[in-house]
Structure 1
C-alpha cells in the first residue's frame, strides 16, 4: 500500500514518455499522402478549390498529417485569403515550431496583408534557423520587398440593360 503512489507516478511517467516517443516519428497514412499529392498537383494547375478539397480529405484520412496545413495555407494564399492562410500556417507551427515552410508561408501572408514588422520577425527567425541563403528565407525576403498586395476597396457593378423587373 505504501508503494502505490510511487508506482502510480512512475507508471504515469512511462506512459507519457512512451506516447510522446510514438508521436515523434509518425509516418503519414499513404492514402493521405496520395490525396495531398493530388492537391499539390491541382494547386500547381491553378485549381485552388480542388486542391483545398484534396488537402481536407487528406486530413480526414490522417488528422495528424501536419504538413497538409502548410499546403492548405498555400492554397488559401493563392485564393487571396491571407488571414485564413495565416491560421493554417499557425496550426502547422503549433505541431512543429521549427517548420521552415510554415514560418516562411506565414511571413509571406503577413507581408501580403501589410504586417511587415511581424513578417520581418519571421524572417529573423528563419535566418537564425536555416541561415540567410536557404530558400524559405529568400522567398520571405522577396515577399517583404514586394510589400502588401493592392487592396480592392469596391467593386463596380453596372446594371445589365437586358434585365427587366417582373
Structure 2
C-alpha cells in the first residue's frame, strides 16, 4: 500500500493528468516540446502566409425556402473585413448591404422586392469552392442554402 502511494507520487504530472483524462474519455494533445507544456496554438494557412480562403468571386447558390428553391447568383468582393457585391435572381439584381467578412465566414443583407418586398439576412461559410449558410427573410424561418463558386 505504501509502495502504491509512492508510485503515484513518483509519476510525473503529465502521466497523472493523462490517466485522469482517460477515465473521462478525453485526452490531452501531445506536446512536441519534449516536456509537459501544452502544444503551441495552431495557426491558419493565412496566418502562416499561405493562400487564404476567399469569398471573392461569383457564386451560384440555391436557397431552400418555404416557397420553393430560389436560385441566386452572387458577385462578391472583400476588402479587409468589408464585403460588397451584387445578388441576382431571374427577376432582379440588387446590391448587398452591411457585408462583413471574418476568416471563412461572412454576413450580409439584401432588400428584395420580388416575390415580395423584404430584407433578407445571410450568414455564410466558405469551404474552398463551396459556400453554405442560412438566409433569414422577414418573418419566415431561416432557410438553408448551398452553392459553388462559378468562376473556379
Give the TM-score, by structure 1 length.
0.23
Which is helix-richer, 1 or 2? 1
More strand by share: 2
